[in-house]
């Protein structure tokens, strides 16, 4: 099945700890995105990547880092600098051309221990 | 960045009723998208609109791209229990700039 796979489904972080959320897609999409979802709010863009080895900050990049070493993979690290990391994190991908819609994974819920 | 104004925030309807929700913005968008999200899942694309004035259907769902390019609406006809969920609008300027509404939470009573 083609799609976007996020793992783990649930993740717990201790104080001062960095955690990494995985996102893999087999849709052959060029562009990948990370969003944060908080209750009652629209999705907010953390980072995006148009091509391998290139990525750009979104609206709320502080306290997060990403890498794009392979086309299929776009992991997100939530660092200890992110003071309010509890949220639902969504990864998306698209063909990378204008007006092509983004398709989403099933999300990772991150909580603080 | 600016998010979209989506209304209503929530709706409680009886099975069989029609539903209407909309999104507005002060900015112009090139594409309007509507997604549905079930609890604990990612948003699933329902309808994509690419031209001002465009009216597109997907089964019982109908969406329109506003003529001013600043708004869009989604209608659901003859609602059924599985329509329950959160519906999000999204306006896309280009590949890297997509803005989301806060969502409309739909509850359908059998």
Q: What is the pLDDT of residues B75-96, one digit of tens each?
A: 999 999 999 999 999 999 887 8
| C-alpha to C-alpha distances, B74 to B19, B71, B91, nearest whole angstrom | 8, 11, 13
Instruction: Kindly report, residue by residue over A37-90, the tens digit of the pLDDT.
Output: 998 788 999 999 999 999 999 999 999 999 999 999 999 999 998 889 999 999
pLDDT value of residue B77 = 98
Give percent of chain B with pLDDT exceeding 90: 89
pLDDT value of residue B2 = 58
Pairing of strands A76-78, A64-66: antiparallel
Instruction: Kindly report, residue by residue over B91-103, the tens digit of the pLDDT.
Output: 998 878 889 999 9
In chain A, which among 7-66 make CB contacts under 8 A with chain B?
Answer: 31, 40-43, 45, 48, 50, 56, 59
Chain mean pLDDT for chain A: 93
Average pLDDT in the B100-110 region? 94
pLDDT over 80 (residue B18): yes
pLDDT over 80 (residue A2): no
The rounded distance, in Å, linking the Cα atoms of A7 and A46 is 17
Q: What contacts B103, CB < 8 A, 6 or more positions away? A: A40, A42, B6, B9, B37, B86, B87, B88
Average pLDDT in the A85-110 region? 92
pLDDT value of residue A16 = 86
Distance from CA of A35 to the nearest CA of B (A): 11
pLDDT value of residue A42 = 83
Contact across the interface for B50 and A45, Cβ inside 8 Å: no
């Amino acid at each position: 099945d083609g799609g976007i796979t996020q793992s783990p489904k649930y993740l717990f972080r201790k104080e001062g700890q960095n955690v990494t959320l995985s996102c893999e897609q087999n849709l052959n999409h060029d562009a990948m995105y990370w969003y944060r979802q908080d209750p009652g709010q629209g999705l907010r863009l953390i980072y995006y990547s148009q091509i391998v080895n290139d990525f750009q900050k979104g609206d709320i990049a502080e306290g997060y880092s990403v890498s794009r070493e392979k086309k299929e993979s776009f992991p997100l690290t939530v660092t200890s600098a992110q003071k309010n990391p509890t949220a639902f994190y969504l990864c998306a991908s698209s063909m990378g051309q204008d007006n092509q819609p983004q398709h989403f994974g099933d999300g990772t819920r991150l909580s603080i221990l | 960045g600016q998010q979209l104004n989506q209304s209503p925030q929530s709706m409680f309807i009886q099975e069989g009723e029609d539903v209407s929700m909309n999104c507005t913005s002060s900015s112009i968008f090139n594409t309007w998208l509507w997604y549905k999200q079930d609890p604990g899942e990612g948003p699933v694309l329902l309808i994509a609109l690419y031209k001002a004035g465009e009216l597109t259907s997907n089964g019982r769902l109908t969406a329109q791209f506003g003529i001013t390019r600043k708004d869009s609406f989604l209608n659901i006809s003859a609602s059924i229990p599985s329509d329950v969920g959160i519906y999000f609008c999204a306006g896309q300027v280009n590949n890297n700039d997509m803005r989301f509404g806060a969502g409309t939470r739909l509850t359908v009573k059998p």
